[in-house]
Each structure stands twice: as C-alpha cells, then as structure tokens.
Copies of this chain bind each other. A is one copy, B any other.
Amino acid sequence: MKFSFQNPTQLIFGAGTLAELGEAVHVYGKKALLVTGGGSVRRNGTLERAVASLNAAGVSVVECSGVEPNPRLSSVVRGAEIARSEGCDVVVALGGGSTMDAAKVMAAAVFYEGDPWNMMVHVQNRVLPTKALPIVTVPTLAATGSEMNGGAVITDEKTTVKSFVTAKCLYPHAAIVDPELTMSVPPDQTAFGICDLITHVTESYFNGVDGTPLQDRFAEGVILTAMEWGPIAVADGNDLEARAQVQWASVVALNGWVQVGTAAPYPVHMIEHSLSAHHDIAHGAGLAVVNPAWMRAAAQARPARFAQFAHRVFGLSLKHPEDAEAAREGINRFEAFLRSIGCPTRLSEVGIGDELLQRYAQDTLLVAHDKHGRLPGRPSMSGEDIISALRSAL
C-alpha cells in the first residue's frame, strides 16, 4: 500500500440540515448558480426551501434547471455560460448524481479554456481542470456518492460516449446530506441507488490491489449495512431511519474511505456507462444487470476473493479458501438480494437486446483501456470478454 489521500469536503449530515444550506454557502459566495434536474425538487418544495435558506443568508440565486439523467456535455456548457454571464461566485447542486456531476464540471468549466470535454479521462492529451468555483452539493438521492468526492460522469450526446473526470478542484467545499430529501424517491429508484452504492465498493473490493485487509472490512461493512437497511427503505420510503442509514452508506461508499490505497479500476461502471449512454436506463439499474454478470466472469479467475465475499457478507461456510462453489453461491445470493429489492438483473428487463453488444464493448474500451487495449480490472477483459459477460445477462 502506497498512496496519497485527501478529502477536504465538509460533510453536514442529518435530517433537517437543508435549513443549513444558506449558512454553508454564504461562506463561499454571494451569488449561487443553483443547478437542478428534471423538476422533482420544484414539485416537492425542496427547491423553494433551498432558495429560502440561501436568500436568508444573503445569497442570491441564478437557476440552471433541466440537467438530464446521464447529464450531457451541452448542459455543462450551458451552465458554465450562465455562471459566467451572471457572475456567479459559487455553484450549488440540488439533485441526484447527474445534477451534482454536471454542476461540478460547470464549476470547473467556468475557468477552463476550450471544450470541457477535454477534461475527460479518455481524451488524448487531456487537460485536467485546476480551478473551479466553490461547489456545495445537496443530494436528493442516495446513490452516487458524488456529494463528497472529486469525480463526475458526463455524456457527449453527439458521440454517445460517457466518460468521467476526477480532479482535486471538483471536491465540493461542503455537502449538505439531508436524508429527509430522499423520502420522496420511489421504490425502484431507491433500489437502483442501493445497487449503485454497493457496486462502488464491490469495484474496489474485487479490483483493488492485494493487501488491503482494512479496506476489505470497510467494503463489507458498507454492503452489510446497505443490505440491512436498504430493503426497509424500499419497503417504506417514509422510514427516515432507513433513509438515513442508506444515504450514509452511499456517502461513504464513494468518498474514498473504502477505496483508499486500493488503486482499483471500475470495470463494472465502465461497461454500464456504455449501456446508459445508448439507452435511457437508470445507472443503478444497469449496474444491477452488469455487476452479477461481471462477477461470474471474474470469479473464475479469482475464486478466493469471491469466496471471501460469500463468507463474510452472506455467512457461507468455505470448504477451503478457494471454494469456487461457495464463490458462485455468494454471487447468486447477491443477485437474489438485488432482485428482492426490485432491481432488474437481465438486459431484457431494461429493454436491451443483443444488437449493440459489439458497440458497448467498443465504447467501454474507448473510455478505459490498458496498454494492451483491455478493460482494466481483475482480470482485465478484452472486447470479446465484455460481450461474453453481457451476453450471459441477456
């Protein structure tokens, strides 16, 4: 283990903390670009409360609404233009992962020379952003963990390529995480969020370097907590305690505390991004399809790792450390859990057939590939391997 870690975001967590938004933001600016998504925050009154808190603290608001699920590059450009022309000095994201990701890149694009797409990881001679307006995030969904990390996923709608950027300047200055805001999220989206957060830690658990026993325990802790409280939140969206535990797990699942030192690539996310770039499916639903299929492929190469997962997460007994049967059963149990909370686990359930398998593999490898042209992970995968895994989930 050799690494450098820093996460400077101030996290303000708890029911009712939306009321602290203005106080948190006015430290950083007096005129906020308030970024929102499709309109649910307007309908359910959250937007109004956020604006009231901001105004009460002396922060004026310029709205940038309509950020899409799987947010588009054009929305980022639009938001940055508004921020520049209006002279905004802080960016507030109020919404789900898409809204937060778009807002983060907007905040950097304000200072960025040229096309913000050139920030993205897959671009040759990419130029990382080094400066951004201060960002304050207010998630309304427990899922992506974007509220407390320096990453963002953006889709170029012209090329249907979904890529990502991670940079120091994209860490929010503050995150207001108020589980009350997630109570109106419907059961299916709640379940997709749970799948998303679990997948964040299975990525590093299965793809990280060897010799990170503490991070393994942390990942298992996130999964066990999500599996304990997730079904309660899905069954009763008004259970504030369950909402809080799920949202807390989603924050920790991708704020770096679990991934630190693992140097893990995210093959399942990379494959899923190629699906949701082409099809209008929820990211978490796509992950529920891809993750078990990927696990089955990967378990053949590393049964011991999946046996440990089966043992520690599902309490299965192991005949020996490399017990492949237990490993498979652990994956089955995981898939059954996803189904039990209402996630799809087959491509056909999200309306995807076998027509574009080749294209998904190509797009995946365009965004993430090692020097041999393979998808990084344990094991690394060729285009054929990706197609084969997806085909197993048709």
Contacts and interface: CB of A to CB of B under 8 A. Distances in A.
Interface of A: 1-17, 211, 213-214, 216-218, 220-222, 224-225, 228-229, 241, 244-245, 248-249, 252, 257, 261
Contacts of A17: 2
Contacts of A8: 6, 8
Contacts of A228: 213
A214 B6 contact: no
Contacts of A248: 1, 214, 261
Contact of A225 (B5, B6, B213): B213
A216 to B, nearest CB: 8
A139 B224 CA distance: 33
B220 A217 contact: yes
B225 A217 contact: yes
Contacts of A217: 217-218, 220-222, 224-225
A323 to B, nearest CB: 18
Given A6-B8, A8-B6, A244-B1, A13 B261 contact: yes
Contact of A2 (B3, B4, B14, B229): B14
26 contacts: A2-B14, A2-B16, A3-B11, A3-B14, A4-B12, A6-B8, A6-B9, A6-B10, A6-B11, A8-B8, A211-B245, A213-B228, A214-B221, A214-B222, A214-B225, A214-B245, A214-B249, A216-B221, A217-B221, A217-B222, A217-B224, A217-B225, A220-B221, A221-B221, A248-B261, A257-B257
A203 to B, nearest CB: 18
A70 B252 CA distance: 34
A241 B11 CA distance: 33
Contacts of A221: 214, 216-218, 220-221
Contacts of A9: 6
A3 B13 CA distance: 5
A14 B11 CA distance: 27
Contacts of A6: 8-11
Given A214-B225, A214-B252, 17 more contacts: A1-B14, A2-B14, A2-B16, A3-B12, A4-B11, A6-B9, A7-B7, A8-B8, A211-B241, A211-B245, A213-B228, A213-B229, A214-B221, A214-B222, A217-B218, A218-B218, A218-B221
A333 to B, nearest CB: 18
A15 to B, nearest CB: 7
Nearest to A257: B257
By Cβ-Cβ distance, the 5 closest A-B pairs, closest first, are A217-B221, A2-B14, A6-B10, A214-B225, A5-B11
Contacts of A218: 217-218, 221
